């Protein structure tokens, strides 16, 4: 009897010890199994979040490669993705005019990271004709979790997530939202994203900040290389025509004057008078090259090239990255690609 009692007592002690061990270990396993769910509004931000978040995040990009964030229409699938997210990363500066409606429709209750926080935006004219006119006189101071953003399975277009009546009107006011087109600003984006992720996921805060520091070092090194490239090109040659007004920050940083055919929005169409004025200006000022963008209709820019004899440069990436596997598929790859295309076209013949 005594022996049976002792044996039973030992079994109970062993059972309690095993349960205690499971109780201690289980929370740690559960905590490390799930990466932080992050939704980025467009492809540039999606790439930055992947660089800084690493394996600690799962990233969904709403407006994917070659997608136009100006004309994007949120879908029910996008609302579901946002509803399940812990963090939303947006550009700010009224770039994603559709995002407040989408967040409301999705009942999003997670953390928001505004990548442009702390950046002083460029000022510009509101109307497209004034914007083009201002651009013509502006002289600079020299993945596994990826989505294509099109949600092909959700073209039933739930009207709770978007409305057609304001889709074609993108009011940015007098501020230029394309702040990522400066690498100095890109470093600010990276810092803001890292701090936002650290606040949302304190257990990986040190990793986010470490990756951001390494990423910012790469941004700064590329910025220095590009400054040297454009400094070697004569100032009078550093002027080009672009599809829409997206490269003002680039122009300010590297002393390149961009003459936009349209205004801020890619769906803006210049008037016949605007086109005539731009063609005359290109001839008068001997503008070196004209460029199309990956998200814009190239017809108008090609017309200007035909009528002026200006060199037709390659494709520039403004509001969206290239598809995976291409040179401009990352933020730094996009910047290096654009700089090379511009520099090659601006070199004296």
Q: What token pair was written down for 249?
A: 């920050």
Q: What's the rounded mean pLDDT across residues 213-233?
A: 97
Q: Are 113 and 89 in contact (CB under 8 A)?
A: yes
* Short-list 93, 88, 6, CA closest to 49: 88
Q: What token pair was written down for 155?
A: 């073209």
For residue 46, name the pLDDT band (cuts at 50, 70, 90): very high
For residue 11, name the pLDDT band (cuts at 50, 70, 90): low
Residues 116-127: tens digit of each pLDDT? 999 999 987 543
For residue 297, name the pLDDT band (cuts at 50, 70, 90): confident
pLDDT for 12 equals 52
Place of tokens 């660089």: 51
For residue 5, name the pLDDT band (cuts at 50, 70, 90): very low
Provide the whole-model pTM: 0.77
Q: What token pair was written down for 221?
A: 């090194």
């Amino acid at each position: 009897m005594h022996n049976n009692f002792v044996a039973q007592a030992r079994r109970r002690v062993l059972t309690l010890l095993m349960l205690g061990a499971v109780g201690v270990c289980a929370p740690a396993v559960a905590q490390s199994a799930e990466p932080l769910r992050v939704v980025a509004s467009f492809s540039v931000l999606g790439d930055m979040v992947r660089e800084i978040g690493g394996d600690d995040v799962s990233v969904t990009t709403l407006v994917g490669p070659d997608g136009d964030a100006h004309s994007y229409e949120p879908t029910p699938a996008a609302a579901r993705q946002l509803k399940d997210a812990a963090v939303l990363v947006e550009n700010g500066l009224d770039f994603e005019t559709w995002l407040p409606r989408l967040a409301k429709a999705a009942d999003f209750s997670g953390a928001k990271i505004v990548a442009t926080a702390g950046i002083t935006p460029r000022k510009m004219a509101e109307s497209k004709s004034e914007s083009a006119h201002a651009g013509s006189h502006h002289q600079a101071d020299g993945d596994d979790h990826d989505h294509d953003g099109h949600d092909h399975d959700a073209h039933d277009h739930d009207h709770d997530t978007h409305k057609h009546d304001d889709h074609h009107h993108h009011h940015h006011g007098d501020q230029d939202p394309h702040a990522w087109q400066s690498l100095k600003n890109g470093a600010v984006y990276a810092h803001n994203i890292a701090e936002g992720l650290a606040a949302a996921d304190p257990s990986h805060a040190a990793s986010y900040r470490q990756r951001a520091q390494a990423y910012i070092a790469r941004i700064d090194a590329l910025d220095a290389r590009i400054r040297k490239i454009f400094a070697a090109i004569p100032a009078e040659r550093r002027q080009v025509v672009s599809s829409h007004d997206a490269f003002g920050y680039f122009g300010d940083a590297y002393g390149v004057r961009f003459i936009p055919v349209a205004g801020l929005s890619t769906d803006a169409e210049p008037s016949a008078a605007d086109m005539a004025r731009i063609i005359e200006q290109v001839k008068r000022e001997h503008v070196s090259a004209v460029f199309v963008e990956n998200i814009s209709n190239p017809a108008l820019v090609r017309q200007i090239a035909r009528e002026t004899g200006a060199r037709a440069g390659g494709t520039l990436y403004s509001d969206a990255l290239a598809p995976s596997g291409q040179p401009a598929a990352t933020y730094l790859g996009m910047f290096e690609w654009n700089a090379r295309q511009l520099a090659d076209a601006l070199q004296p013949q």
